[in-house]
Structure 1
């Protein structure tokens, strides 16, 4: 069964402002325009018919990442590719049962209204979500910076409390977790929207993904909440984190 989940607090809409500075062409300043969102691109928050909460990000290149959880416990993640046009979407990818250490290939299809709502069916399950306007905010490492406390899980390991810090220059680090630490970086994506490319390296013999393992993925920030998810190059192991400042 393919299960998706909603990310708590992700549906808050944020106002965006754009304007022009005064003066002539030499000293005037024009704020960059709001990044254009087309198709099913964006961050979506909703509920699966099986009761799981879903956090789903569809990027401008179709790359798709998600986390599903229940009662604050992360059960798994998803990664795939989505094609969307004229209110319809389809895609394929993998569902990662992180605690159970299993991976399943999935195909899906559905409908959407750009920047409004989305419905995706998976045969035995369905996800219905709403759009988060925070996705359109220009990416800001200054806003992303802070200390987040929440739950994290890696393939083959149980959920555990994680404290994760991000500096103003995008450096990422966790406090030691039972003999394992993680360090890396977060950087704005070329499209400039409020989602970041993420690279995390794990160190310690107790790390579920192995000492020296490097995972890449995305981080999404909204109103003090953070979702981070990544995979190893093998694309069959990874991690997920949900937390807040």
Structure 2
């Protein structure tokens, strides 16, 4: 997410149709109050009028995919990724990366608090710009974070758009292995259900030589699929390389 100055409107939205709730164990804070783990999917608003959804995994790594809803599906404009720390109801990350549609990787920090009812409140800062946000869990009836990811839901062909705006086609085997093309660029990789049993795929993708934008590079990240209100499924993919200096994202419906 590029945090625009206060005079500009921010549109930040991840996985608009998704729902879910935090899961996992808890921790005891002062006074004996048990605070649930922050993991799960949150939807909420930013202080400058934007909206968001944030996925926090069981290892406190998080992704926020932002953009807008077009014809009932989610159109991605970028994503945030960070490695957080959760303790006593506080969630912080000092290494936030913001992958934009222009190919930039901006840096930032996040500081938040979470409660036993899985409310999330905090601030996101990039440079001199800061926005406040709140978030609440979404309904498991739409996207059940605590269910295991199912490869049969994504097997087959997906026509997607890359974060940089290029048409891309994924062909995913029943095993989760995939081949993909984007114009004259060919790449491949795999989707694997997350070992935690949560409803998230671990994704790796390796790009071929030029004219691929990231020739020869291997990226890793997440994939999530979910049902839209119109009965179609949507697939969202976000990844970074090991040094977190290159990024790629894809989204599509079928």
Q: Please tell me the TM-score bracket, short chain as reference.
A: 0.7 to 0.9
Does structure 2 conserve the Cα–Cα contact (< 8 Å) formed by 1:135 and 1:193?
yes
* Distance in 1 separating the partners of 2:183 and 2:173: 23
Residue 213 of structure 1 is matched in structure 2 by 217
Does structure 1 conserve the Cα–Cα contact (< 8 Å) formed by 2:148 and 2:198?
yes
* Distance in 2 separating the partners of 1:102 and 1:216: 17
Unaligned runs of 5+ in 1: 14-34
Does structure 1 conserve the Cα–Cα contact (< 8 Å) formed by 2:237 and 2:249?
yes
Residue 244 of structure 1 is matched in structure 2 by 253
Offset at residue 60 of structure 1 (A): 0.8
Q: 2:198 aligns with which of 193, 201, 210?
A: 193
Unaligned runs of 5+ in 2: 4-9, 26-35, 228-232
2:15 aligned counterpart, secondary structure? coil
Q: 2:226 aligns with which of 222, 225, 241?
A: 222
Does structure 2 conserve the Cα–Cα contact (< 8 Å) formed by 1:185 and 1:199?
yes
- 5 Å matches for 1:144-159? 144-153=154-163, 158-159=164-165
Does structure 2 conserve the Cα–Cα contact (< 8 Å) formed by 1:53 and 1:69?
no
* Distance in 2 separating the partners of 1:73 and 1:52: 15
Deviation larger for 75-84 or 48-57: 48-57
Residue 119 of structure 2 is matched in structure 1 by 117
Question: When the two structures are superposed, what TM-score results if normalisation uses the length of structure 2?
Answer: 0.74
2:149 aligned counterpart, secondary structure? coil
Does structure 2 conserve the Cα–Cα contact (< 8 Å) formed by 1:139 and 1:192?
yes
Residue 16 of structure 2 is matched in structure 1 by 8
Q: 2:175 aligns with which of 169, 172, 180?
A: 169
Offset at residue 85 of structure 1 (A): 3.7
2:239 aligned counterpart, secondary structure? strand
Residue 56 of structure 2 is matched in structure 1 by 58
* Distance in 2 separating the partners of 1:148 and 1:128: 33
Question: When the two structures are superposed, what TM-score results if normalisation uses the length of structure 1?
Answer: 0.76
Distance 1:141 1:234, change over 3 A: same
Q: How many residues align?
A: 218
* Distance in 1 separating the partners of 2:37 and 2:59: 11
Distance 1:94 1:143, change over 3 A: same
Distance 1:128 1:100, change over 3 A: same
Residue 153 of structure 2 is matched in structure 1 by 143
Does structure 1 conserve the Cα–Cα contact (< 8 Å) formed by 2:149 and 2:200?
yes
Q: 1:129 aligns with which of 128, 135, 148?
A: 135
Does structure 2 conserve the Cα–Cα contact (< 8 Å) formed by 1:76 and 1:95?
no
CA displacement 1:2-31 (0-9 Å, x = unmatched): 474321211278xxxxxxxxxxxxxxxxxx
Does structure 2 conserve the Cα–Cα contact (< 8 Å) formed by 1:39 and 1:86?
no
Offset at residue 203 of structure 1 (A): 1.6
